[in-house]
Chains A and B, each alone.
Chain A
Amino acid sequence: MSSTVMKKSMYWFAVPALLFYLTFWIFPILRLFQYSITDYNGYAQAYNYIGFANYKELFGSDILGTSLKNTLIYTFVTVIAGNMIGLALALLLNMKIRGTGIYRSLAYIPTLFSAIVVGFLWSYVYMPDYGLISSFLDKLGIANELNFLGDYSTALYSIIFVEIWKTIGTTMIIFLAGLQTVPTDLLEAGRMDGCGSWRLLRHVEIPLLATAITINVTLSLINGLKAFDFPFIMTNGGPGTATNTLIYSIYKMAFTEQLFGKASALGVISFAVIIVITAVFVLKMNKREVSA
């Protein structure tokens, strides 16, 4: 490529984006590292450097372990269940049946709702006594005391389900687009050779879906590690700390407890966790995709 056409002066085009990105994204992240070794409360101008006290305190308390565990469960379940349901839905709607276009659109609709609206709708679904599930069971004559969001053992899984419900449309659309790239003559050939639909799926379609799988899994992984909306809107992290994710804990620590230094330290730890998991995962996925 001749450098007279693709000149280095092209870099000027990146200046506006870089200015925004550095000012409102990178610089604040660097400040986070600085604040993590202070007792800053987020409002007063004065603060002291206190070394690694915030980190020590965090590693000594339960909140780090609990939030980390909740976040990992949240991520694991959304990645695995979300992608499996999304793939199943895509395979179902890729079949030659009547009205697939309409079904695809309908399955996509939940993704258009704001998280806040979704949170309201599902709070109603889960509500004890008057809620959708409870009153439905009542109608069937099954007395119940279900309290999905109020019960320690179910609260986290209940909000994970909401996350999956909201994102399933996007996952499905990306899988459907991937399925469209599977050549039909390849499937025909497989069928001629006597492959059942399960074997076709396992040995022909899934390997060819590698790109779509990588994209979907990566997106849901990042999404899960950043989980905040539904703990914030639906449970306030409760009951107790049962739905405290890392990001929700940071938010609560910084804004309701006004411990910004400590929240920053938790932010730095979360940042490390997110980066490491994502990096390991992306490298693994890339390797697999190349060899597939």
Chain B
Amino acid sequence: MTLRKWLSKGSIQIVVLVVMALNLIPLIIAFSTSLRDPSNNTNPLALFQELSLASYKSAFERMHFPEALWNSIVLTGVSVIFVVLFAAMASYPMARLKTKLSKFMYLFFLSGLVVPAQMVLIPIVQMINALHIPTNQYTPIFMFITCSLPFSTFLYTGFIRSGVPEEVEEAAHIDGAGLFQRFWTVVFPLLIPVTVSVIITQGVWIWNDYFFNMIFISGADDSPLPLAMLGFLGDQQNPTQWNVLFAACFLCALPLLLAFLFLQKYFIGGMTVGAVKG
């Protein structure tokens, strides 16, 4: 390697480091501040000046962390299961039938992507009341499923069209399998890569959503993690509480950060399944 090449490699490395540092500074400062006692008001720029879990303890109690975590798991888990089932099933005819109706359905679902939930909220709440669906901590699940359908059916339809050959189905058909059996035993198992993608993309937004939770959930013990964070809203004006607020921020993000740490490959791959195949 020539000196020039070596130098340019070194400078790229430095550029990358600087970019990363700039990008992550807010997180680093917040993390270091969260590790201080709630009463420690020294300048946050002094990194890791104290290592105490007192702020975490306080945040843990204030946000009812175990309950909030459990609520998040239930809400996200149940929603994602239904999203996978409904979206995979709906995409099957859209990918296989080459009729005007199936083309229309595909665009019909896809167009849902452009509608913001905030805009249609009041009619949604009325609809839920009219159907006598009780408004409790599980009500947001209906909206999580609905709002996930546009993108999930887009991913599934694209994948079935390009990744599941019709021949495997013909073979099953000749063996006497009915439509229902064929879908669940032949097609659905072949959808695992895109199912991972759906679980990750939809799971992350549902886990992080505060909006539908805010509308339907009132009790503190019913709140999932992001909603529990809303309880800290006033603290933005009160600098002495920043340590606790930051601890709460990291407690809130911790489950997804851990999931990312262990399932990185799936997160990165899952983001791109739909993107590269277009």
Q: Which residues of B contact A251 (CB under 8 A)?
A: 118, 121
Q: Which residues of B contact A16 (CB under 8 A)?
A: 85-86, 89-90
Contact B26 A10 (CB under 8 A): no
- Interface stretch, picked from A95-103, A184-192, A198-206, is A95-103
Contact B226 A14 (CB under 8 A): no
Contact B98 A1 (CB under 8 A): yes
Contact B93 A92 (CB under 8 A): no
* 0/1 string, A7-21, CB within 8 A of B gives 1: 111110110111011
Asked if A64 lies at the interface with its beta carbon under 8 angstroms from chain B, I say no
Asked if A82 lies at the interface with its beta carbon under 8 angstroms from chain B, I say no
Asked if B94 lies at the interface with its beta carbon under 8 angstroms from chain A, I say yes
Q: Which residues of A contact B26 (CB under 8 A)?
A: 121-122, 124-125, 132, 165
**A212 touches which one: B87, B236, B239, B276 (CB < 8 A)?**
B276
Contact B19 A214 (CB under 8 A): no
Kindly state the separation between the CA atoms of A95 and B245 in the bound complex, as whole angstroms. 38
Kindly state the separation between the CA atoms of A104 and B128 in the bound complex, as whole angstroms. 42
Kindly state the separation between the CA atoms of A271 and B119 in the bound complex, as whole angstroms. 9
> SS class of chain B's interface: helix, strand, loop or mixed?
helix
Contact A103 B149 (CB under 8 A): no
What residue in chain A is nearest B23 (Cβ atoms)?
Answer: A107
Asked if B116 lies at the interface with its beta carbon under 8 angstroms from chain A, I say yes
Contact A20 B142 (CB under 8 A): yes
**A117 touches which one: B128, B146, B249 (CB < 8 A)?**
B249
Do A17 and B120 form a contact, CB below 8 Å, given A1-B166, A121-B27, A124-B30? no
Kindly state the separation between the CA atoms of A174 and B276 in the bound complex, as whole angstroms. 8
Contact B179 A42 (CB under 8 A): no
Contact B86 A17 (CB under 8 A): yes
Do A29 and B113 form a contact, CB below 8 Å, given A23-B131, A173-B272, A212-B276? no
What residue in chain A is nearest B109 (Cβ atoms)?
Answer: A21
Do A110 and B23 form a contact, CB below 8 Å, given A10-B92, A14-B93? yes
- Interface stretch, picked from A51-59, A73-81, A150-158, A222-230, is A222-230
Kindly state the separation between the CA atoms of A11 and B93 in the bound complex, as whole angstroms. 6
Q: Which residues of A contact B165 (CB under 8 A)?
A: none
Contact A27 B19 (CB under 8 A): no
Do A254 and B96 form a contact, CB below 8 Å, given A14-B90, A165-B23, A214-B278? no
Do A97 and B12 form a contact, CB below 8 Å, given A5-B166, A21-B112, A112-B256? yes
Most chain B Cβ neighbours within 10 Å, of A13, A32, A98, A215: A13
Kindly state the separation between the CA atoms of A197 and B118 in the bound complex, as whole angstroms. 45
Asked if B43 lies at the interface with its beta carbon under 8 angstroms from chain A, I say yes
Interface bracket on B: 35 or more
Kindly state the separation between the CA atoms of A177 and B153 in the bound complex, as whole angstroms. 21
Contact A260 B122 (CB under 8 A): yes
Q: Which residues of B contact A278 (CB under 8 A)?
A: 114
CB distance from B197 to the nearest CB of A (A): 12
Task: Name A91-134 residues within 8 Å CB distance of B.
Answer: 92-93, 95, 97-98, 103-117, 120-125, 127, 130, 132
* 0/1 string, A152-183, CB within 8 A of B gives 1: 00000000000001001010011011101100
Contact B27 A110 (CB under 8 A): yes
CB distance from A255 to the nearest CB of B (A): 8
Kindly state the separation between the CA atoms of A289 and B119 in the bound complex, as whole angstroms. 32
* 0/1 string, B220-255, CB within 8 A of A gives 1: 000001100110100010010010011001001100
Q: Which residues of A contact B30 (CB under 8 A)?
A: 121, 124
Contact A114 B109 (CB under 8 A): no
Task: Name B96-117 residues within 8 Å CB distance of A.
Answer: 96-98, 101, 105, 109, 112-116
Task: Name B61-102 residues within 8 Å CB distance of A.
Answer: 85-87, 89-90, 92-94, 96-98, 101
Contact A31 B126 (CB under 8 A): yes
**B90 touches which one: A17, A177, A275 (CB < 8 A)?**
A17
Kindly state the separation between the CA atoms of A178 and B27 in the bound complex, as whole angstroms. 28
Q: Which residues of B contact A127 (CB under 8 A)?
A: 236, 239
CB distance from B134 to the nearest CB of A (A): 15
Contact B225 A225 (CB under 8 A): no
